[in-house]
Amino acid sequence: MTRTDAAALYNPMGTTALITGASSGLGVGFAHELARRGADLVLTARRLDRLEALAVDLAEKYGTVSTVIPLDLAAPGAVAELVHDLDDRGVRVSTLVNNAGFGLFGSMVDAPEAPVHDQVAVNVQALTDLTHALLPGLLSAALTHPQGAALVNVASTAAFQPVPRLAVYAASKAYVLSLTEALWYETRGTGLKVTALCPGPTETEFYTVAHRSTAGPRRLASVDEVMRTAFDALDTPRTPPHAVSGGQNRLLAWLASVSPRRTVVTVTGRLSRR
């Protein structure tokens, strides 16, 4: 999937990585690659059965020890509960992958209150709170395990422009991108690898959860393709502040950055009708 272990510049062997949203999609992809590289894992998501099955699979394939913590990050106090649980278990996290997140397709005026609230609670609030709580430990880990500490926040290509009918989701991912790039700058010289992973349409459960059958005319990338982008960024000596998966997606993100905002939102609005 990625470079060989001997050549990998990001080496989490002997450390522990925490992955949110670990029960499916990119979360499972991160779990496999981190385990392959020798990290033990903390796996958290809502679906206990899937987490337990993943932990067994990782143990059989890589000999990885996985701590399973079922949790709904949209619930009040969820992050505090998770951090307290880690402290009670004596788990010290060296890599944090904030992967949990979801979107809901449709006009905001028609959206139920709970999913709108929960998108912000999971995509923004929980990610921010967990990053803030664990960042001191990640920085300490960067000192004791050079090249083995990282913060990866999963954003999206939706972060680069407003997206009508995915308004809250795109806005939340713009926040994730902005926050992560600022943290990348704040932590320069510490040894902590910080990046925002920005995948485009991917073969995950996103569209099922979003109540949309397809991604429109665009091709769905595989989880493996997105993982290559993520770990190539981590394996780079100077990890970039964000990593966009796929050449077409990189082009579209660049076009969004140089085009008038009114033009961009008009185009994305027309495309989101499909």
Torsions phi, psi for 220 (to 5 deg): -85, 125
Cβ neighbours, 10 Å, residue 126:
24
Which among 10, 169, 175, 185 is annotated as catalytic? Answer: 169
DSSP string, 31-60: HHHHHHTT-EEEEEES-HHHHHHHHHHHHH
- What lies within 8 Å, CB to CB, of 17 at 6+ separation is 30, 34, 39, 40, 41, 42, 93, 94, 95, 96, 97
**Beta carbons within 10 angstroms of residue 237's beta carbon:** 7
Is 175 annotated as catalytic? Answer: no
Rounded Cα–Cα distance for residues 207 and 203 (Å)? 9
Active site members? 169
